[in-house]
Structure 1
């Protein structure tokens, strides 16, 4: 396992069957982290709490959700790439609006281990930023009815303009992302994340190169970098579910949106689609030709980002939080940029510029929380223009609020992300595996599949087979709530 078959590759190291040949032949044939199980069992045994609900307050123009103005509100934030200052600032607005209410705010990187016992006891906090390596499985939370429907928040008057509902102030796709089974909205993704390939424009210019649009061009750029002692790529080897941030939209670009939808829907043989195979083979070439920074499989996200920021590697698959998360190591003249993933060639189903952009940083209000109205009100405040602008200016990322950039000097990465979105236009994809099936995405596909392939311990064919088996097992698992694109 993991050894490259001599018959699969030519003497020059190139794929023997040929990337283009595979796509063309298939077209002619018409073919084209942490364990969540413990949380699953815990949720199944949880009574959901909620017996001790806070008394409702009086609904007014300034208090449309009827928050009890003397009731305690607890907010637990994931302490990640965006930091916690933006949330602390929003909490101050809540405290100003409800001066008699006690507010408990805390931030942690250990969301599941900290909050799972509280879900079991029926005493979860009122608002949670459910993110990070210890993210609680969204599919499990929804399936076990652990979350409150956020429709009251979305239908409430927006914080700035009572004539507009909150839902009417959000970026396209945000409401739909929070849905799992039709109308209820269980999650509000606060950040608007641009996923893709991040790099230093200065370093790319020094190689006398432009960002590659085809895979042959990508390999040529990586070869240029290698001759200068610079690796073409690095990534979070310990958390290889970062790899899909560029790989998934590449698969969509090569094979079309339907390929990604079939993968999300856990359809049989979805991972065996020719577009998946050709993209896996393309990424595997990075490993085989020595274009991946040595030691990458042992690096965590911070270590890989630091090596990249120091110029040891040219390209990094990541999300737009990387600009803030790596701010202390990115040189002032780095000229941070992001691009949509490189494709295979002109035969790709979608144009160059096709990118993954979607809501990130999922906020939820537990159904068993004591003060659900308070949790939703805190979110309503955060979705106001002032809080949105504050977030964007402080963490260099867009929010779900459709605006909030007026008067802000955009940082290089944010400016590049906005430009990438403009270039993409309608060609934006949004794979759902990472929120529908967290364990499958992170542990199975990421660590056991892609991570092993990129470390050279699986061939692309072996990785495809292994991942398809993981997907099939999830599809057949009656204890897992299943979701499909509507």
Structure 2
């Protein structure tokens, strides 16, 4: 959290759903030695070798061999890595095996040469600014097909498979083509975050519509407080809300056209116009904290927890990451997406989606052990441990039932319940980070400082999306409409 540098301490959402510009250098690292290829189903390299296989039983459905060492490489940022060490301890006890643990913020630089040399660790939390390019690894058969894990009995209930106890969107998010080879362990809630205490003290109510938000911002400004702040050094933080707001108003089929880089997907969608004009209005009325364009995510969060601004676009990792500066009575809360005009999705719709990508190396020494560690982590015991230690949900459904939750996590959990099935999950930032973080992020930065009109943002964003669509060097992925 606050103990690491601002740039590397990415925050859960930045470390998993977003491939930041700082990470883009890894996409074409020559030492990877990878040829361009499309993601395919599991090939021979996906099958663990016989020497690593133990006896399959009810308690050992994957057939992990006793005594075989396991190597885990875990991103150590805003979430720390203790939660992973706790699961590793259970693995060590169960299989009488040594577990080599590395906690780092340099996953990509440290592991790129190891993948190239055929000596990758068994299980990896592939997060942080300097992560590995999973699209490329998957297309080269470097990632273990985790279908066998999904079909294994869950740790808590042998009558339920692992796939039955995790959120359905986790199954969609972790696919490259038809192969499920990334397990997003956490479940992040994105939205507009605020202090419940400040709102109550001032008599303000979280708005339900875009128009109500503009009106409330006017009232807030009159009180001498900035309505909004954001991480201007990384303006794509604003996309956590902005993109989902477009999907909420325009509907998922129209957003999926954006994910799929369809022609005119941005320019023909009225929801894009509504949302970008909303942000243009916020900028024109100077509803953003002065100087926000120069702030890192940590600095913007600190301004927010000091009540210099009421709202911040962020993900549910913010409670853990901003803990060092958050007053005890702050009452951290998250608001759902706002209603526009002619919305395709109902009030209360929320962006909630899998995050924190775990991968198992197909060519590691113990891929079965890597999958077993994930099975242990997907137990209620470890899902609850994660919630307690890092104030975040996991992909394990209803794992926090009956727990006493921290304010932000309780608010996020309540928002998920209120949203029901109306949870939005987006892929654009995952699939095309150079587009969203560098190109569109730059445009969004200009929009928020009033240096770019909404109409120009839309036109230029479409042009940037078209460039990616036409670039044969970029592997393309498609969502079903």
Please indicate, yes or no, whether the TM-score normalized by the shorter chain is above 0.5: yes
Partner of 1:479: 473
Say which of 265, 281, 294 aligns to 1:285. Answer: 281
Structure 1 residue 51 displacement after superposition: 12
> Corresponding residue for 2:429?
434
Instruction: Write out per-residue CA displacement over residues 271-305 of structure 1, whole angstroms, 9 at most, x where no aligned residue.
Output: 11221122111112222211111111221111111
Aligned mate of 2:229, from 216, 225, 234: 234
On the 8 A contact 1:308/1:314 being kept in 2, the answer is yes
CA–CA distance in 2 between the matches of 1:403 and 1:333? 27
Deviation at 1:316, TM superposition (A): 0.9
- Determine the C-alpha separation between the residues in 1 that align with 2:465 and 2:131: 20
Name the counterpart of 1:136. Answer: 132
The answer for the alignment partner of 1:45 in structure 2 is: 33
The CA deviation string for residues 80-129 of structure 1, in whole angstroms up to 9 with x for no partner, is: 22221211111111111122x22111222222222222222222211111
Deviation of residue 49 (structure 1)? Answer: 9.5
**Aligned equivalent of 1:63:** 60
| In 2: Cα distance, 1:371 partner to 1:46 partner | 22
Assess if the C-alpha contact under 8 Å between 2:31 and 2:113 holds in 1. no
Partners of 1:231 and 1:202 lie apart in 2 by 16
**Matches of 2:113 and 2:293, distance apart in 1:** 33
Which of residues 293, 303, 321 is equivalent to 1:307? 303
Does the CA-based 8 Å contact 2:48-2:368 persist in structure 1?
no
Q: How many aligned residue pairs are there? A: 450
| SS of equivalent residue, structure 2 residue 194 | strand
* CA–CA distance in structure 2, aligned partners of residues 166 and 455 of structure 1: 47
How far 1:454 moved relative to its partner? 1.8
- 2:144 matched to 1:156? no
2:339 is aligned, of 343, 357, 363, to 343
The alpha carbon displacement at 1:329 in A equals 1.3
Residues 46 and 145 in structure 2, CA contact (< 8 A), matched pair in contact too:
no
Unmatched tracts of structure 1, length 5 or more? 1-32
Q: Would the alpha carbon gap of residues 398 and 465 (structure 1) be closer, same or farther in structure 2, given more than 3 Å must change? A: same
| Superposition deviation, residue 213 in structure 1 | 1.3
SS of residue in 2 equivalent to 1:105 = strand
Does the Cα contact within 8 Å between 2:226 and 2:310 map onto a contact in 1? yes
- How far the C-alpha of 1:195 sits from its partner, in A, is 0.8
Following superposition, the deviation at residue 44 of structure 1 comes to 6.2
Structure 1 residue 73 displacement after superposition: 1.3
Matched, 1:380 2:375: yes
Residue 122 of structure 1 aligns to a residue in which SS?
coil
Question: What is the rounded CA distance, in whole Å, between the counterparts of 1:75 and 1:384 in structure 2?
Answer: 18
* 1:251 lines up with 2:251 in the alignment: no
Aligned positions of 1:168-247 closer than 5 A = 168-182=164-178, 184-247=179-242
Query: In 2 relative to 1, CA 351–262 (structure 1 residues): closer, same or farther, beyond 3 Å?
Result: same
2:458 is aligned with 1:464: yes
Distance between the aligned counterparts of 1:90 and 1:146, measured in 2? 24
CA positional deviation for 1:444: 2.2
The answer to whether the 8 A contact 2:26-2:130 is kept is no
Match of 1:417 in 2: 412
Q: Distance in 1 between matches of 2:47 and 2:244?
A: 44
CA contact 2:52–2:64 (8 Å) conserved in 1:
yes
Q: CA deviation at 1:358?
A: 1.0
* Cα deviation, residue 35, structure 1: 4.8
Q: What residue in structure 1 maps to residue 256 of structure 2? A: 261
**Displacement of 1:320:** 0.9
Distance 2:163 2:310 in 1: 39
Distance 1:135 1:450, change over 3 A: farther
RMSD, aligned CA: 2.2
Query: How far apart are the structure 2 equivalents of 1:147 and 1:457?
Result: 43
Deviations 1:241-283 (A, max 9, x none): 2112111221112211122111101001111122112211111
Partners of 2:55 and 2:65 within 8 A in 1: no
Q: Give 1:214 shift.
A: 1.6
**How many angstroms apart in 1 are the aligned matches of 2:131 and 2:206?**
33
Shift of 1:171: 1.8
